[in-house]
Amino acid sequence: MPPPRGGRNEQELITKDQQPLALNQLVQKKHRPAFAPDWDNMNAKVRAASIAQLAEVCPELGVALPEMLQCFGLNEAMLQNTELLIPALPAVQLLEQVAADSGCESVGLRLAERRRLSGFGMLGILLAHQATLGEGLAAIACYRHLLNDILMFQLEESPPHLLIRLDLLLGAECGKTQAIELALGITWRFCLLMAGAQWQPLSVHFSHAEPADLKYHKKFFRCPVHFNSDFNGIVVPLTARDLLNPQADSLMVRHAEQLLAPLLQSQNRPLADEIRQLLLVQLPAGRYNIELIAGYLGLQPRSLQRRLAAEQLSFSELLNDVRLELCRHYLQNPLYSLQRIGDLLGYANASSFTRWFVLQFGKSPSEYRQEQARRPLHSAK
């Protein structure tokens, strides 16, 4: 079976009635259950380290960084304090603006190329010394909320492939192309560090449109890169999860886990966030009914409904939240037809999707697209 390419039929590698995945079970057994970020994008934070390399990249691109930072309520002192938590939305918007002003569509990858695991503090030590690539990826899924509040990260087994999928949950009308490429680029470099020459991915996928110049992307990834895909992620052979890490050190891992344990215990994230995390990845693949989502969480549907009711929420509300997030993102890509967007959001036809959209936004998808195309990047909300 060939690796997936752009297009829904080729990417739906996992059947809609598939049970929870073995690698997700590894996350649950080896670590605490992975939690999704806070939904309120106004409070979501990222570590300043995630964009600190702009101090190197912007001068190369001819962009005046101090003035650019000021436009988004940030400053150079913040970037120098890599452990500082800064607002996520302005950070994402900043990357888009740098790309627009410089005409460089590889800003995210240029930042990723400069990132080092040492910049992740104690979490970097834990990740760098895992025994296998699979355990390293499982650790990212578990500890990702210590990196930032908006990262969605999930592993899916579809023999003979393993899909490393990620996304960013912003809850805002904001482009995130560069931030997605930054996150995927960092993941790529982590895998390369863990597996060395054994790291032989089959393909890389982005849901956004193809840039005009692909030279940097081809140089960075060194494998087929597909755009306008139904997901953001990397496809590798399933056997890649067993690749050994020559730097593995179980004592270092245990030491790091002990130091990070208080941070994990302080993260009391609600069930609703876990469900949003799953829906963000599973909705585009058509696997979003309550029975499947409850199964991924090890719950019965009625139990899941009762626990949501205790939080004064419903499954349909959460599903609608995620539809809104994905819809905003898909509409930014002019190559996505309304039929395709409706399909990815679970609607049988474009008219059903349009009716839902008008109820949510008070305008048609076409009108929304036109308004967003005219809106300056820095005014995205």
- The stretch 112-133 carries a mean pLDDT of 88
Neighbours of 278 (CB within 10 A): 23
Give the CA dihedral 145, 149, 150, 154, nearest 10 degrees: 10
Which tokens is 193 given? 């560090």
- In sequence order, which ranges of 74-132 are alpha helices (DSSP H)? 76-80, 88-102, 107-114, 122-128
Which residues form the domain of 323?
Answer: 271-379
Boundary residue ending a domain (264, 280, 295): 264
Shared domain for 205 and 281, answered yes or no, is no
* Domain presence at residue 33: yes
* Residues linked to residue 205 through DSSP beta bridges, in sequence order: 226, 233
Give the span between the Cα atoms of 189 and 185, in whole angstroms. 6
- The stretch 103-115 carries a mean pLDDT of 96
* Domain presence at residue 227: yes
Which tokens is 184 given? 């995927």
Residue among 241, 227, 237, 313 nearest 271 (CA) = 313
* Domain presence at residue 334: yes
Question: CB of 39 within 8 A of CB of 276?
Answer: yes
Least confident among 16-20, 61-65, 199-203, 326-330: 16-20
Question: Does the pLDDT at position 9 exceed 90?
Answer: no
Shared domain for 258 and 316, answered yes or no, is no
Shared domain for 309 and 187, answered yes or no, is no
* Residues linked to residue 154 through DSSP beta bridges, in sequence order: 165
- The stretch 356-369 carries a mean pLDDT of 94
Q: Name the more confident of 4 and 299.
A: 299
* Domain presence at residue 220: yes
Question: Does the pLDDT at position 125 exceed 80?
Answer: yes
Question: Does the pLDDT at position 285 exceed 90?
Answer: no
pLDDT band at residue 1 using 50, 70 and 90 as cut-offs: very low
Shared domain for 25 and 172, answered yes or no, is yes
Boundary residue ending a domain (249, 264, 279): 264
Question: Does the pLDDT at position 34 exceed 60?
Answer: no
* Domain presence at residue 2: no
Share of the chain above pLDDT 70, in %: 85
Angle at CA of residue 368, ends 365 and 371, nearest 5°: 155
* Domains: count for the chain: 2
Mean pLDDT, the chain, rounded, equals 84
Shared domain for 341 and 364, answered yes or no, is yes
Shared domain for 190 and 285, answered yes or no, is no
Question: Does the pLDDT at position 369 exceed 70?
Answer: yes
Neighbours of 200 (CB within 10 A): 13
Q: Is the peptide bond before 160 cis (omega within 30 degrees of 0)?
A: yes
Question: CB of 285 within 8 A of CB of 13?
Answer: no
Question: CB of 257 within 8 A of CB of 150?
Answer: no
- What's the N-to-C CA distance of the chain in angstroms? 42
pLDDT digits (tens, 9 = 90+) for 244-270: 999 999 999 998 888 888 777 655 567
* Domain presence at residue 1: no
CATH number of the domain that residue 279 is part of: 1.10.10.60
Give the span between the Cα atoms of 209 and 105, in whole angstroms. 11
Shared domain for 241 and 117, answered yes or no, is yes
Which tokens is 116 given? 């080092």
Shared domain for 165 and 284, answered yes or no, is no
Give the span between the Cα atoms of 321 and 343, in whole angstroms. 17
Give the CA dihedral 22, 304, 154, 281, nearest 10 degrees: 120
Shared domain for 53 and 166, answered yes or no, is yes
Give the span between the Cα atoms of 333 and 8, in whole angstroms. 16
pLDDT band at residue 158 using 50, 70 and 90 as cut-offs: confident
Question: Does the pLDDT at position 121 exceed 70?
Answer: yes
DSSP string, 13-46: -S-TTPPPPHHHHHHHHHSSPP-PPPS-TTT-EE
pLDDT score recorded for residue 2:
40
pLDDT score recorded for residue 177:
95
* Domain presence at residue 3: no
Question: Does the pLDDT at position 186 exceed 70?
Answer: yes
Boundary residue ending a domain (229, 246, 264): 264
**Residue 175 neighbours by CB under 8 Å, 6+ apart:** 92, 93, 96, 332, 377, 380
Shared domain for 248 and 100, answered yes or no, is yes
pLDDT score recorded for residue 119:
74
Shared domain for 197 and 104, answered yes or no, is yes
Shared domain for 164 and 133, answered yes or no, is yes
Give the span between the Cα atoms of 126 and 289, in whole angstroms. 35
* Domain presence at residue 144: yes
